[in-house]
Chain A
Amino acid sequence: MTFIVKVSPIKNIFEQVKWKCKVYSSMFSTVLIVHILFSLLMFSNGAGNIKRGGTFIEYDERFYSLDILFIISIMTLFILGWSVANKSLSNANFSIISTNYTEAISSLLLIIILSIFTVASALSSLYIFFFIKLLMTNETMVIVNAWPNLPSLIIFVLGIILAGSVSYLAKSLFDFSKIVFVMVIVAVILLVSMQITSVFPFLFGVGWFSIILRCLLFIGVTWGLTIFVRQRKEVIRG
């Protein structure tokens, strides 16, 4: 093959990612608005509560943690990863000659950028709404740790990258419609949630380190599969 202008793959991917961040900018605002919405729902009751009772004391703690935002982010990334794959051809930058290979990698890099953005947005939402609660109400506040916990953040990022890449792979493999896709996600979540106490340790092991390593492994596997599948895919016009 001969090209008039030769572009190195790295530059190609970089340009594609830059282009895609602009084209898919509504995804970033979707993440923001979903987080603001669910933080508002979390505002009065918190993410959960801990009850401890002594004989003479009833201790009721409402904690504001990243859990709800984590679950919401996973769902959001499922949908966004799917829509990245769905509109990939129409939203590619054709001013640069791209191959299936660079296209898949740039989409996956977009998912990484989106995930990091999601973590920043989740942390901001948590702190903003807790701070407002702190200033506005007279209830007792206990702050044991103000700084975010690093392993949690790493697992947060890796978890949502995994969710995004899995749904990207699923869309590359099968041509789902929107409704079928939602139904598939619900079915998978239902099946997993029934057996979650056995499935989760089986998939991710026990301990922070094991979870992080296995997440990385799964991300690697899904990326490899995605690039392989995308290279074999025929061009769809229309």
Chain B
Amino acid sequence: MNSFVIFLPITIMLVIILVIGALLTKMKIWRPKRTLSFSGIYFGLGIVALIGVVILSRDSGNIESDKVLREHIVENERINEQVSLRNVDAMNPAYLKYTKTFEPTSQDIEVKRHEDAFFTRIVLTWNNSTENKIVASYYETPLFMNRVNISDVVRPSHIELKGNELFVYDVKTQIKVNSVRPKLEIIDDFQNTAVHDDLSNLIGERILHLNVPRHFNIIDSSGWME
């Protein structure tokens, strides 16, 4: 079956090429001079299109340079390290997206994530206040996918308290993009170097910081909380 699936398109393509070739040799319109002028016009259009694409690529300045992306990767690593040490104060306040305050009624709070929400890191810090208040602050560093800044497109993680359960979930965003790659991807595939460009992967961090008084019990079933 598999070989037949390849067999059919190849045969059809070859037959199409043969038929076109045979037709063009029969047709008297395609004399050398006309072929020359036609291909000249076509190549001219190609050059015009190339210049157009180059100009438009300069116009759309949403693609970050390698240097900026590397800086962001270093910054994210630093933030990750600080978060592992529960040192949330080291975070840049510019990354703070929102702060929410919950006033739960029971002492036991269970943190539940939607199955897709594991990109968001949750950090717990304790405080000594006696109030029934949990402060959740959500940080997000600039997000890049394939060198394009997508921070404005995606929506931040959502937090909600229902009864004694704290829900964390992400809204999935679909991004559809067309791109021109004037090279042979097929060669890269055989060399196994295609997708391992770390700058075109997803770059960015999402951190949810929960500041909880000591008399609460936080239950985490996922084991991913810090």
Contacts and interface: CB of A to CB of B under 8 A. Distances in A.
User: Are A and B part of the same complex?
Assistant: yes
Interface of A: 21-22, 25-30, 32-34, 37, 46-48, 50, 52, 54-67, 70-72, 75-76, 79-80, 83, 117, 120-121, 123-128, 130-134, 137, 139-149, 151-152, 155-156, 178, 182, 185-186, 189-190, 193-194, 196-197, 200-201, 206-208, 211
A119 B45 CA distance: 15
Given A34-B20, A79-B21, A197 B190 contact: yes
User: For B16, B25, B117, B182, which residue has the most chain A Cβ atoms within 10 angstroms?
Assistant: B182
Given A32-B39, A152-B183, A59 B177 contact: yes
A139 B118 CA distance: 30
A149 B183 contact: yes
A59 B30 CA distance: 45
A57 B175 contact: yes
A156 B185 CA distance: 12
27 contacts: A25-B36, A30-B17, A30-B24, A55-B116, A55-B118, A56-B117, A57-B150, A57-B175, A59-B177, A66-B183, A72-B17, A79-B14, A124-B42, A130-B49, A131-B49, A132-B49, A134-B53, A140-B178, A141-B56, A142-B60, A142-B148, A142-B178, A152-B183, A155-B184, A185-B10, A189-B10, A201-B190
Interface residues of B, number: 73
* Most A-side CB within 10 Å, residue of B54, B57, B63, B148: B57
Contact of B35 (A28, A64, A83, A178): A28
B66 to A, nearest CB: 11
Given A72-B13, A133-B178, A120 B43 contact: yes
A215 B202 CA distance: 37
B176 A139 contact: yes
Contacts of B181: 63-65, 144-145
B80 interface: no
A155 B190 CA distance: 14
B95 interface: no
Contacts of B45: 124, 128
Contact of A146 (B24, B35, B50, B155): B50
Given A33-B24, A124-B43, A143-B53, A76 B173 contact: no
Interface of B: 3, 6-7, 10-11, 13-18, 20-21, 24-25, 27, 30-32, 35-36, 38-39, 42-43, 45-47, 49-50, 52-54, 56-57, 60, 63, 116-120, 145-148, 150, 154-155, 157, 170-187, 190-191, 195, 201-202
Contact of B172 (A29, A50, A56): A56
B108 to A, nearest CB: 27
A71 B6 CA distance: 13
B7 A190 contact: yes
Given A117-B39, A142-B179, A148-B182, A182 B18 contact: yes
B194 to A, nearest CB: 9
B97 to A, nearest CB: 13
Contacts of B20: 30, 33-34, 37
A33 B38 CA distance: 11
A79 B205 CA distance: 54
Contact of B57 (A56, A63, A143, A207): A143
Given A142-B146, A143-B53, A146-B57, A58 B3 contact: no
Contacts of A54: 119, 145, 202
A59 B49 contact: no
Nearest to B44: A124
A194 B170 contact: no
Contacts of B3: 190, 194
A57 B10 contact: no
A29 B25 CA distance: 10
Contacts of A149: 182-184
Contacts of B36: 25
A151 B184 CA distance: 9
Given A54-B202, A61-B178, A120-B43, A143 B6 contact: no
Contacts of A56: 116-117, 119, 154-155, 157, 170-173
A196 B187 CA distance: 12
